[in-house]
Amino acid sequence: MMIGAMADDSSMASLGLAAVDGASGTTHGSYFCPLTLNPSNMTRSDSKAGYIDGLPPRDNLVILTGQQVTQITFNGTNDADGNIIASGISFQPSAGGTAYTANARKEVILSSGTVGSPQILQLSGIGPAAQLASAGVDSRIDLPVGYNLQDHITATMYFSTPPGTLTWNNLSSSQALQDSEMTKYLADRTGMWTFVNQAIAFPNMADLLGESSANYAGLVLDQLNATWTETVANKDLPANVARGLSEQYKIQQAHIDTDVGQVEMLLHLLGPNNNVGIQAALQHPWSRGTIFITSNNAFTNPNINPDYFSVGYDIDIMNNAMRFARRIGQANPMSELTIAETQPGATVTGDALDDYIRTNGVTTYHPIGTCSMLPRDMGGVVDTRLIVYGTGNIRVVDSSIIPLHMSAHTMGTTYGVAEKAAEIIKRKYYEVQEVASTSDGESATGSATSGTTTGTAVAGASNFGANAGMSTAAKIGVGAGVGAGVLALLAALVSPPSLNTTFPMTFVRVTLMTDCLLLHQAKEEGSTQNRRMVPRRPRIRSSTQRRSNW
């Protein structure tokens, strides 16, 4: 039996989940998930390989590894609107290690992820005042940093396989198999070492429930206000976060009876005793968690409370998803690969199945939301330019700004956020001048200047009900699309005390987001398109000249 047969999504198609192009804008259906592989040698690629390694040597980039940002620094200055201005960051290699300060000439951009970014903001006095006080941090801005945590929780159903089936269990337990598969891999990049659980599908509620999905949507609608009231009370949510949650719940309810995938189904090969697994991951959790620091020591991990299944719909949906996994296991051709359901067992249903899900549910490592892009009066932490409310020059650019979970994996989405952020940031510092093409293929400078946008936050996003032409979901997402394709760069002037030099731009860590910013700069610098990037003048303004909408 060939291992590759496991990655055949035609069982999904037989249950109504026809193949779709996952990049088409809808994920409702089944497909083979694209992977970030280097096609020339079939090795795993990453943001560093994709965005940094291809750049020529440059003197305006310093990458420091093995350093942890401990807080953002301030020197007491404000912009014209009273927003506080960050002066840089502090970082050190370990608790008790030498501490350094990097001074920012323009901006501080956090891209430390859904856990790291709220932690740094909170350590810097930007967060919920009560939580900061109990951690011993003086409050600078009372913002709901760390609320609205959402994750894709997942549980797996296992099936025994016919003799001769090869799974990851065989691979991990047999040196001989590892060696022979490695020989194949080295010869032509094939074999078990290349397998990834990439056969996936995103069923909607109708796929899970059939015609009763409309009834379920109606039931949730009837209970919506009560569910919201209970969640707000249970989690003691601040008023602004509660308002945002109310709007999010309306969107989630509206999605129930649509094409929006409610769960992700994944076929995988890692199970006990040569089992294969069919995994279900909740895509639009109703439960909300929190990430709060408990200490003013940056090397003390923050308290992460995902509060999975604290809202009952999550367990309802996952119960139905597990039963859908059962149907996939019985559908042709998967049925040729599955002898019997071994976990939780074919007779496990109802409350017992709920218990199995609660006990065996684990993260898919897709946390989002702790620095949400939302209106401030709805629990937002960043505005549509990714600027932290109440600050003039701190941005967050990572998965933490996504306010509502998606039926999708988070890596590609995070690259998307980063690419848009790069445009937003570039637009602030550079303007685009159209360059007219000449007949011999050379370019000449035209007179039009299209870079007229100002980088002002999208005002319409502060009123969910106001824009009749745009769905509420679209308005939540609109901020990420506000960038208009102009070059710029943040350019911090940094002078680590141990290095007797200065750098126009420094990142103290490597991550998806910063990598995207660099790629944008490189692409635009090398661009031969009919436009060119021109630094806005003056490039450096005094604090009194700073535009309020920076």
Q: Which residues bind ligand FAD (CB under 6 A)?
A: 68-69, 111-113, 116, 120, 365-366, 398-399, 409-412, 414, 508-509, 511-513
Three-state DSSP class for residue 262? coil
Smallest distance, ligand FAD to C-beta of residue 192, A: 18
Determine whether 409 is an active site residue. yes
Smallest distance, ligand FAD to C-beta of residue 431, A: 28
Residue burial 118-146, b: 16+ Cβ < 10 Å; e: rest:
bbbbbbbbbbbbebbeebebebbbbbbbb
Tokens 């009231």 identify what position? 229
Smallest distance, ligand FAD to C-beta of residue 176, A: 28
Nearest-CA neighbor of 369 among 414, 412, 318, 313?
A: 414
DSSP string, 454-495: -----GGGG-TTT-TTS-HHHHHHHGGG---S--------B-
Residue 468, C-beta contacts closer than 8 angstroms, at least 6 positions apart: none
In the set 255, 405, 409, 520, the catalytic residue is 409
In the complex with ligand FAD, which residue's Cβ is closer, 252 or 514? 514
In the set 28, 366, 405, 520, the catalytic residue is 366
Smallest distance, ligand FAD to C-beta of residue 324, A: 21
In the complex with ligand FAD, which residue's Cβ is closer, 46 or 230? 46
What would the two tokens of residue 286 be?
Answer: 């109703």
DSSP string, 377-441: GGT-SB-TTSBBTTBSSEEE-SGGG--S--SS-HHHHHHHHHHHHHHHHHHHHEEEEEEEEPTTS
Q: Dmax of the chain from CA atoms?
A: 75
C-alpha to C-alpha distances, 69 to 45, 73, 89, 302, 484, nearest whole angstrom: 26, 11, 7, 14, 31
Tokens 């937002």 identify what position? 380
Secondary structure element (H or E) that encloses residue 214, with its range: helix 213-235
In the complex with ligand FAD, which residue's Cβ is closer, 171 or 510? 510
In the complex with ligand FAD, which residue's Cβ is closer, 17 or 508? 508
DSSP state of 198: -
Smallest distance, ligand FAD to C-beta of residue 223, A: 31
Tokens 């790629």 identify what position? 519
User: N- to C-terminal Cα distance for the chain?
Assistant: 60
Determine whether 268 is an active site residue. no
In the complex with ligand FAD, which residue's Cβ is closer, 210 or 412? 412
What would the two tokens of residue 362 be?
Answer: 């684990």
Count of CB atoms within 10 A of residue 436's CB? Answer: 11
In the complex with ligand FAD, which residue's Cβ is closer, 300 or 453? 300
In the complex with ligand FAD, which residue's Cβ is closer, 364 or 549? 364
Which residue's Cβ has the minimum distance to ligand FAD? Answer: 116
For CA atoms 163, 167, 172, 175, the dihedral sign is positive
In the complex with ligand FAD, which residue's Cβ is closer, 112 or 169? 112
Smallest distance, ligand FAD to C-beta of residue 289, A: 16
Residue 549 CA to residue 161 CA, distance in Å, equals 61
CB 198 within 8 A of CB 32: yes
Nearest-CA neighbor of 532 among 483, 482, 487?
A: 487
Smallest distance, ligand FAD to C-beta of residue 254, A: 25
Smallest distance, ligand FAD to C-beta of residue 365, A: 3
Q: Could you give the residue numbers annotated as active site?
A: 366, 409
